[in-house]
Every structure is written in C-alpha cells, then in structure tokens.
Structure 1
Amino acid sequence: MKDQAENLRQQLEDYRKKSMAKTLAVISGKGGVGKSNFSLNFAIALAKKGKRVLLFDMDIGMGNIDILIGRHSTYSIVDFFDRGLSLVDIMTAGPEQISIITGGTGLTNLFSLSEVNFSRFMEEFNELLNQYDYILFDMGAGITEDSVKFLLCVDELIVICTPEPTAVMDAYSVMKYLHSVNPELPFLLVCNRVLTIKEGQETITRIQNALRKFLRKEAIVLGCLPENRTVSNAVSRQVPFIEYDSGSDVSKALMNLVLRYNNHSFNEEWTLPKSNFLQNMKRYFLGR
C-alpha cells in the first residue's frame, strides 16, 4: 500500500511539473459574427507558431468546424459518451496538425452528465492537458445556465463581435452576465468584419466605455479583422481562409493578432494567470 501511495504521489508531482495546456473559450452574444471561423483559423495560426492545439467544437448539434475544413468526422463527442470511445479515438487531424473534436448531433445534455461519465471525461481530459499547449473551445452562440458553468472553468474568454449595433449590444450583455457571476474573468475582445480600421477602433471603444461605466471592468483588446472577400471564398471552398490565401489582409491581421496573443503584448498591468480547469470543473459541476 505504501508503494502504491508513493507512486500516486509521484504521478501527481510529475503532472504538476509538466506544462499544462491553456484553456480558452470563444464566445459571442449572437450567431452570424464569424465565431467558429475565427476559432478554426485562430487555432491554425497558433499551430503555425509551433503550438500544439486541440480545437473542441462545443456547439453540440449545430457545430460546423468539420464543414469549414471540408472533412466529415467519423466520430464526435457523442461517441465518447454513447459508445465509450476515448477522446483520442474521436479526434480528427486538421490543417497544420491541429486536433479537432466535433460536436456531432443528438447530444443535448453535455453539461448534465452522470457522475460516471463526468469522471471518465475528467480523467481523459487530464491527459490532454499534458499533450497540448492550447485547448480551444468553440462555444455555441449565446449562453445557457449550464454552459456558464463551463465558461467559468477556462483560463480566458475570447469575445467575438462585429460593428453591427445588435452584435455590440449582445457581446456586452454576455460579458455583463458573466461578470456578475465571476468579476475576475478575463475578457479578450476581437472585432470581426470591420470595413475600416477606424470602424473597428470605434466599435472597441464603445464596448470598452460601456464596460468601464457600468461594470468598472476592462477588456483586453486582441484586435480587429477586416471584412474580406477571401473569407467568403474560403468558406465556399471549405478551406480555412488562412490556408486559402495567407497573403490576404484578413490572414495577415489574424497572424498579427496571434503574435500579440502569444507575446502577451498587452498593457503592462495585464496579467493572465492560468487557472486549474479540472478543479474548476469539479467545483462548478459537482459542487466540490
């Protein structure tokens, strides 16, 4: 028994010494702002910088990551729960060797798992934290009571909006609600589909002013991505736009955004400490 206990302690110590993946969730207040397209291309851009990336499609039943890359995934997260496959079994290799787990269909209670399934998910996910640099969750549009619990577990939240007034208001509303649940959550803001740099800056300023005035909260500005025909052409051809035309304005803007993110080129007062994803999962889902 002493040997087993000592081995367990050593395993735990080894886990602590390893570099654990950073977990990010990409969210939006409404659909149609390019959230999934951003998630996919952001993941690929990170991989181009030498990072090991897992993209997890959490828009269960309505996910479209596999459509955006033109590859039908044989398995999805549904098969993990319904057929007992492992998380590794259900992964698909994507562009630049990113790993992808698709959402599939027929699963509506991912956030209301039995304790047995939850424990199995936790155990296997723990292994993935040691195999990747980033695990990126592409969430469904908007938020639900259950998905909020999940969002509280990740290290960082990337909020996608566009200059449209409804998109700005919805993005603010999502941040307002999440802030009311946990004021310490860090928001990273991306304005997508801007026609001009000025339009993007004005949109970011409106959101920042509202956060400061009503929530006394600052968001980290990651940057803006221009409206560009390359994106729609790439979607039509089911190719990520950063692969379709790496020299386009939108691809260059995304790579610059990822460079800033990798280098954490924010204001000096910003620090983004990593949380403990698995401990947070137990806290918010199991209450312990």
Structure 2
Amino acid sequence: MKRLVLIALLSVSALAKAQTFDAGGNGPAVAWDVADRFNYLGKPVAHYGLGWYSEAMNIPPYMYMSGFAGIKLFTWGEARMIIDGSGKVGIGTLNPESKLHLQDGSVFIKTLRTGSNSEYPLISGTQAVNGTSGHAGIYLYEDGSGGFGQASGLAFKVSVNDASPATAMLIKANGNIGIGTDTPREKFSVNGNIRAREIKVEATNWPDYVFEEGYDIGTLEGLEGYIKANKHLPDMPNAKAVEANGIAVSEMLKLQQQKIEELTLQLIEVNKKVVILQQQNQVNKKKIKIKK
C-alpha cells in the first residue's frame, strides 16, 4: 500500500512539473518546462517535450519530439535507440560514431515485386556538381531466368551528366560477378581491361614431365609438317577457338611452358649435331692438308 501511495505521489509531482501549452498556436503540446523553449521558424518549441507543430498556414501540423541533449527510446526497460545532441543516430548503441550507427545487428529491406526483369532500389542517392547531377545506388536485381522471384542479385549503378544510371557491377543469384557485363558466365567476368601489380595463378601438373626419360619430343621435321597442315602448334588452341571461348590463363601457361621445354630439348639435339658436324669438318680439313 505504501508503495502505491509513493508511486501516486511521484506521478502527481511529475504531472505538476509537466505542463501542456499551445505549440506556437498550432496544436497541444506537453513540455517539462514551458519557459525553456527555442524558436523554430519564428515559433516556440519546447526543448523537452512532445507535441504538434505547423510550419506554414493551411498545412496540418507535424508531430515533434524534442530533447535538448538527445532522445532515447526504451523497450523492456532498456535503451534501444538514441538520437544524441549532435544528431547522430544509434541503434543498439548509446554512443553512435556516425550519422547512423548500427551495433550488433543487421538491416533487412523488403521490396515489393511487380514483375520479372525488374530492379528495385535498396540504397539510392544523387549529387549535383557544377550544374550536372550524378546518380549512384544499389538495386535488387531480378533477371527472371529462374522463374518469377527466383533469380535475384545485386546491381551497383552509377551515372554522370544527368544520364540514366548504368550498371557498373552486377552480382547474380548464382554468385557470378560481372563488371561491364550483365551476363557473367564465370565467378568473375570483366568486359574491359584489368591492371594490377601482380597476378598469381594457381596451376597443377606443371610440365616438368617433358624432361623425364622416355618423353617423346618429336622431330623438327614432324613439327614442320604439323604446322603446315594446321597453322598452329600441337596441343595449342587455334585462333577460332580462342576468339570463341577465350583462354584459361593457367592452362595456357602450362601449354606454353611445355612447348618451351620441348623446343629447348630439340635445340639441344640440334646443337649436338652441329658440334659433331664441326668436328668432322675439322678432321676433313686436316685430311685435305695432308694430301696436298
């Protein structure tokens, strides 16, 4: 009983301090201290209060909530969200470090689908520079290839000079990433040039087997005949295949290394024959001198 009386007294005390007043002549408001106000567009608004406020004639009032040092929202007796005095918003944290700080959580954005082959903005923004505007955004992408609502990905779009935003990068539902292309056929497809300081390509079965005993390197005569008939080296793809399918870098490096090693062995064999011919030539020269 004493506890109920105490709560009642505290409630009466709080209500006595909280006062209702007219929010700049626009609607009722409740404030902790009516005298403690600030002016917004020439009209008084309480530093600590909740009310309704109209910014212009014949416009319905807006609801406002004001806290001088900030605003905290509670559930189950715990602060869940804060707007601090500088305007930073924190969700899951009472010390936001940026305009919007989300701590230990995630953001779920649900968009309504209206048809296949569509894009729905998740994050979108524009910026005007020197009279022209640029647009950038992240869109939910649906290509319809897996049936309505079954094949979606993310499209990253940008534009300059007021042009319609174009896809700069696309992540498809199967995980394939495309830059400069909307139809990536591999995990990473680029329609353009790539510049890097170093690229490391993993490869297996490197052709050191060429130097093993019993490996048939063929003959230069046989190689000449193959080239005349096929217009490319053995085991290497022809021009039409490369133009149609591209080349796998690791596989091409192995094939090129194989040919280098085979040609090196053939060059060694040719050199051996040249040395023998030189030696025979020296012997023949000595025989000729003796006969003279």
Which category describes the TM-score, using the shorter chain as reference length? under 0.3
Greater percentage in strand: 2
Select the structure of larger CA radius of gyration.
2
> Which structure has more RCO (C-alpha within 8 Å, separation ≥ 6)?
1
Task: Give the structure with the larger helix fraction.
Answer: 1
